[in-house]
Homo-oligomer: A and B are copies of this chain.
Amino acid sequence: MEKSKIIHNVYAHPLLTEEDLSLISSLHQEVYFSKGEYYLSKGEKPESYLILQSGLMRSFVYDYNGNDVTTHFFTKHQLVIEVLSLFKQMPSEESIQAMTDSKCWKIDFNVFENLFHTIPGLSEWGRTWFSEEMYRFKQRSLEMKTLSATDRYLKLLKNHPEVILQAPLKHIATYLGVTDTSLSRIRKEISKGDIPLK
């Protein structure tokens, strides 16, 4: 899939014209991250965001014991972004790292902001995206409360099997809020067929 298709896909919005999209597209630059490589490290101020074309990335923080806790998996065609530090221009608490070799399109945030103020459709798109992002956040934090670890795992498996297949168990475990030992046992239970897949 070539660049303009990806960009059109990600920025799809009724108010954005073909010309808008071409312009937006032209401002994205190809970047590659190899497995383990960091896009953003804790303490840095991000100056851009990415669109992930292929591969898998994750964001994580360190908890009070110094353990890293995965906060999000970025999958194909998602924005790879740390919203808070980018918008507030403050050092990031989160780090972002490639889990597999990844190909991305990068856009400078200043450049984006200029466009944002000149293309009305883009600010609409941005507002929508941000409110969707908030929605995903609220949903996820609710799930952490209302679903069991097994159900959270099954949900991730159903919605993002690529994460289960490509990410190491320990990162999936912290993402789901359990230890790797527990997750290993959950998998065992599921594979025994005791757990209905709904």
Contacts and interface: CB of A to CB of B under 8 A. Distances in A.
Interface of A: 61, 63-64, 69, 71, 83-84, 87-88, 127, 130-131, 133-135, 137-138, 140-142, 144-147, 174, 177
Given A61-B142, A130-B130, A142-B71, A84 B147 contact: no
Q: How many copies does the complex hold?
A: 2
B141 A87 contact: no
Given A61-B142, A146-B64, A146-B69, A134 B83 contact: yes
A155 to B, nearest CB: 12
Contact of A88 (B69, B87, B135, B137): B135
B83 A145 contact: no
A28 to B, nearest CB: 23
Contact of A131 (B61, B83, B147): B83
A137 B135 contact: no
A84 B141 CA distance: 14
A138 B63 contact: no
A67 B155 CA distance: 21
Contacts of A87: 127, 131
B69 A147 contact: no
A138 B84 contact: yes
Contacts of A133: 134
Contacts of A83: 131, 134
